Amino acid sequence: MLSPQILRIQMFLPLLLIALAGYFFIQLALFKHLLRTRRGRRPSIRKRLFGWLLQFATGVGMGFGIILLALLVPLLAGQYRVAFLTMPGGSLGISQAAPSPSLSATNALAILAVQSLAEEAYYRGVWMLGIVLLLGFLSRAVLGKQAFFTVPFQLILWGNAIVLSAALFAFQHAGNPNVSPLALTNIFLAGALFGLLLAATRSLALIWGLHFAWNSLLVLLGLPVSGYRIALHQHLINLTARSSGITTGGAFGPEASIPLTVVLIIVIAAVARMLPTRTKDFLTQVKMPPAANPPAEADSTETSAEK
């Protein structure tokens, strides 16, 4: 019998297709004006794929870094017991939720890749961008184009979409096992970080990589992910919490810990500082005047010379 976590992940498969379709539709509608104003040769498919892979890899690095920083202080304080080359079925310890049937690392990572992509396409791609599109359409009709294409208004527009989509993201985890107010707070902060990164980079690949690496590292270390534990055939490194306090997150996992709260607040503050500059850059691209026609310039030069 499959565990509730595996069944829950399988439910994301049809959602993935719907969310991706909605994401690309909204992206097209949201940035069609930007696409119209861009000039010059468009990048090749190979360059685009390389760019997406680079963005995904950047997100993976960020995800690993956030989780490792959140685990650093509890590890140094002796809050985790560290074991090597462990097999499922041993002592689970305080931090471990009931395990699912063990999976190979490859299968587990494939499942997590699909789940994280589906969640990001749905919450950030469909909900967040959908809110931006809806509020932007209504406000532009009222305020006009000149007020709409200003940095303060765009920050308010995207900020509301970030907060609302992060709240929906946290609400979706409210029924997870061993959930706590601190856990929901951290999930809300994580959703806000994902939204900020999407607003600053316009890259779904980056936040997908971050979300995937976040969940994958917890699984590889034998820790619960949002209250669920996916057991592997073998863990090279297995962490077991010695206490159930807010330093480790207890049975919910590190996502219910104070160290993660601190790390998320610091990273959110850093990304938020760069958002105004990034927004100004995007607005400059949108309002870029069409490129001058070279033949027309040549004709006018010749006319001036004749005069």
- For the stretch 131-163, pLDDT in tens is 888 888 888 777 777 777 888 888 998 999 999
Compare 89 and 170 and report the one with higher pLDDT. Answer: 170
* pLDDT tens digits along 223-264: 999 988 888 887 788 888 887 788 898 889 999 999 999 999
Angle at 80 between CA 213 and CA 263, to 5 degrees: 45
| pTM as predicted | 0.78
Q: Residue 236 and residue 73: Cα distance in Å, rounded?
A: 21
Q: Is the pLDDT of residue 183 over 90?
A: yes
**42 band by pLDDT with thresholds 50, 70 and 90:** low
Q: Which of 224, 33, 61 is nearest to 136 (CA)?
A: 33
Compare 16 and 217 and report the one with higher pLDDT. Answer: 217
Q: What is the mean pLDDT of the chain?
A: 79
**Exposed e or buried b per residue across 168-178, where buried means at least 16 C-beta atoms within 10 angstroms of its C-beta:** bbbeebeebeb
Q: Residue 95 and residue 184: Cα distance in Å, rounded?
A: 17
pLDDT score, position 41: 54
pLDDT score, position 27: 54
| Amino acid letter, 51 | G
pLDDT score, position 241: 86
Compare 130 and 33 and report the one with higher pLDDT. Answer: 130
Q: What are phi and psi of 273, to 5 degrees?
A: -65, -30
Range 278-287 average pLDDT: 78
Compare 244 and 20 and report the one with higher pLDDT. Answer: 244
Query: Mapping DSSP to helix (H, G, I), strand (E, B) and coil, where does residue 28 land?
Result: helix
**125 band by pLDDT with thresholds 50, 70 and 90:** confident
